[in-house]
Structure 1
Amino acid sequence: MAEGDAEWHSSSLYVFYLTLGWFAFAVWSVSFYPQVLLNYRRKSVTGLTFDFLVFNFTKHSSYLIYNASLYFSPVVQQQYRDKYGKSELIPVAPSDVAFSIHAVLLTAITLFQVCIYERGQQKVSKPAIGITTVAWGSAVVLLFMAWPKGDWLWLVSGFNIIQLVMTAIKYIPQAWFNYQRKSTVGWSIGNIILDLSGGTANIFQMAIQSIDQNSTENFTGNVGKLGLSLESIFFDVLFVIQHYCLYPKREGITVDEYQEIEEGEPETPAHGH
């Protein structure tokens, strides 16, 4: 149970930590499939905002770079311990790396579905393109700044901040889209329930490590994982409220009708409303 100069004090807590991590990996990984299967059954991606997908791909790609670097690179691990203490455990679990790889793959598959299925008039918005360009542009700037000094922990921490920011904004277009349509049709609630479970398990996993180490450095040393979990939980609860409380009949206006309203055309009553 040793990790360099760091080790777990309780074998029971270590097993619990691993169990929570792989549980979070399982439910978060499975959470991608309801949306993919929904798109496949409908042969349509209408109702799913493309801004969300672009933000999500940027977020998971950034998170993969952070997790893989901190888990596999001895140089980055040494810089982490130099900063937070020789006795501190690396705050990235094998399940975190596995989740990130799977997330990038499934998000790419969903983007491919956008290319082959019915999407109506939906497209990626200009603000989303601009935000994504700024995110990747910032990553390039961070690389050139870190390279001369070899400050790789600082660089990968930058990717962690990028994923945290993208997590904060990626759900906003879909939440607003649901509100405008007064409907959650096309947006899989199964994805949300599983995502909520994964976020909760992640928080408990980090708490278990803190209890064992009698330290909160794994929280402060990986604000991205903490922020990812808290932000996911917040928006998941919002989507559950939209789906089951605000729009339970899910008979709002269609995506095409919504597009007509956005383009300034007269609104047509939806489904007899």
Structure 2
Amino acid sequence: MASWNSVEMEIAYQVLGWLAFFSWSFSFYPQVILNFKRKSVVGLNFDFLVLNLTKHSSYLIYNAGLFFSKAIQRQYHNKYGHDQMIPVAPSDVAFSMHAVTLTVFTLFQVLIYDRGHQKVSKTCISITSVIWLSALVCVIVAWPKHSWLWLVSVFNTIQVVMTAIKYTPQV
């Protein structure tokens, strides 16, 4: 068996990461294409879209923060050790950027196509408002202490919570 730090494991990590990127990214297109063909979003769950935007935006903040910020990477290595790999790959950043873009595009379709009498529920608006207000409070708390690792961890927690919330109605 290959060592975790081996070339073979790095190749497997990258290949599986990009395979996941393409698999999950593909899942956004059938709805976008259907909306375009019908020029309608009737039947699309607007709550799911709004919750999905919050989830994927939080995931993007987490991924981009860990991947691009040297300050966050330093805090990560100070907490977990310099031999620990940052737990975000380029495919993670690419997927979260793609997911936010396609979700925003689908929400744009909601604005321009026939939507019947559908609208975002008050419950969804309330949940989303509480989440983003909480995130703002966390930014205010993290800013003076430069607690960037803690802050991106908050956004990671938000994306996990939002995943549970957005799929709960399907259970």
TM-score bracket relative to the smaller structure: over 0.9
Q: How far apart, in 2, do the equivalents of 1:58 and 1:17 lie?
A: 27
Q: TM-score, normalised by structure 1?
A: 0.60
Following superposition, which runs of at least 4 residues in structure 1 exceed 2 angstroms of deviation? none
Q: How far apart, in 2, do the equivalents of 1:56 and 1:112 lie?
A: 14
Superposition RMSD in Å: 1.4
Residues 217-246 of structure 1, C-alpha deviation per residue, up to 9 Å, x if partnerless? xxxxxxxxxxxxxxxxxxxxx7xxxxxxxx
Amino acid at match of 1:167: T
Asked if 1:157 corresponds to 2:153, the answer is: yes
Q: How far apart, in 2, do the equivalents of 1:45 and 1:77 lie?
A: 42
Greater helix share, 1 or 2? 2
Q: How far apart, in 1, do the equivalents of 2:49 and 2:118 lie?
A: 12
Q: How far apart, in 1, do the equivalents of 2:77 and 2:70 lie?
A: 10
Residues 162-193 of structure 1, C-alpha deviation per residue, up to 9 Å, x if partnerless? 111111111334x3xxxxxxxxxxxxxxxxxx
Query: Counterpart in 2 of 1:12?
Result: 8
Displacement of 1:29 in angstroms is: 1.1
Q: TM-score, normalised by structure 2?
A: 0.94
Would you say how many aligned residue pairs link Structure 1 and Structure 2? 169
Query: Counterpart in 2 of 1:124?
Result: 120
2:79 to 83, 88, 108: 83
Q: How far apart, in 2, do the equivalents of 1:163 and 1:102 lie?
A: 16
**Which secondary structure does the structure 2 equivalent of 1:148 belong to?**
helix
2:96 to 74, 97, 100: 100
Residues 27-55 of structure 1, C-alpha deviation per residue, up to 9 Å, x if partnerless? 11111101101111222112211000000
Q: How far apart, in 2, do the equivalents of 1:9 and 1:153 lie?
A: 24
**Structure 2 unpaired stretches of 5+:** none
**Structure 1 unpaired stretches of 5+:** 1-6, 176-237, 239-273
Displacement of 1:156 in angstroms is: 0.8
Query: Counterpart in 2 of 1:137?
Result: 133
| Identity score, percent | 65
Displacement of 1:78 in angstroms is: 1.0
